[in-house]
Amino acid sequence: MLYHGLESRGVAWAEIFGARVPQLPFRRWGHDEVDPAQVCYLAAWNAPADFIAQFPNLEVLFSVGAGIDQLPLSALPPQVRVVRMVEQGIITGMAEYVAMSCLALHRDLPFFISEQRAERWTYRHTRLASETRVGIMGLGELGKAALQILKPLGFALSGWSRSAHAIDGVTCFAGEAGFDAFLAQADIFVCLLPLTAETRGILCRETFAKMPQGSAVINAGRGGHLIAQDLIDALDSGQLRAAMLDVTDPEPLPQGHAFYTHPAVFLTPHVAAETRHATAGEVLADNVLRLLSGEPLLGEVDRTKGY
């Protein structure tokens, strides 16, 4: 097993592997002696194509994050399996971020912050969560966890994904045929989609125009989902009232970018959810044990779909 990534995580995972998978040597790229020809399993966050090319016998590439869009899938031989991280810390963290963001937008926190900064004591009527509709884009583990944490709050919930889903208490839409109907019926939209060729740029002028006027957008998927200028235009025109962004393209944003100073944009630096060293190491060890025993892998990616 070879690991390429943050030093602190590599140390923790080496200890976990030593205890859980003693029959498989765990090596850290750049710290331990490695024969590329002997590497069958590689765990990495960002592994450029020229780095991957060094391993002629690679069988499985494990992403140490929930996404795989940062990996050079097109450069991988077709027989190499790809597995994304399915870890409770990521799932719980994302659900908490979505709940925080939806409540902040539902209770008009952006408006009250702007009034505070202007030294104005301005009353605005508030609503109950049951009067606000939240739509989740992406119904994988993260989307379902977000819906689960929002349900007890009383929001009217809907979801959209490429394939059809049936979720108790959630109005589900699917595919291209259901996208416009989904966009027409919510007030807050949360993007948790995987980044693929089909979803890149999905948060764009055309999409915003189909949302009810005064809607708000939360993007915690990937920066590539969003067309930045289209968002600015939609906010400036009043079509959208606010946006909360945890991901951008590029990351970090350059100084002077409009998102930093726009009064209706609220940024966090890709912290909605992060891989937890200990629990993620256990998940990786579990998956390697599954691999060695011929069992199905948790989070294995369908490379034809990109997720």
84 assigned to active site: no
Q: Any catalytic annotation for residue 270? A: yes
Question: From CA 267, how far away is CA 270, in angstroms rounded?
Answer: 9
Burial category of 303 from C-beta neighbours within 10 Å (exposed 0-12, middle 13-18, buried 19 and up): middle
Closest CA to 143 of 198, 95, 196, 199: 95
Catalytic choice (222, 225, 276, 277): 222
Tell me the residue ranges of DSSP E strands in 129-249.
133-137, 156-161, 170-174, 188-191, 215-219, 240-245
Do 97 and 118 meet the contact criterion of CB atoms below 8 Å apart? no
Catalytic residue among 200, 205, 270, 290: 270
Phi/psi region, residue 108 (left: phi>0; alpha: psi -120 to 50; beta: rest), is: left
Judge contact between 194 and 221, C-beta under 8 A.
yes
Catalytic positions are 222, 270
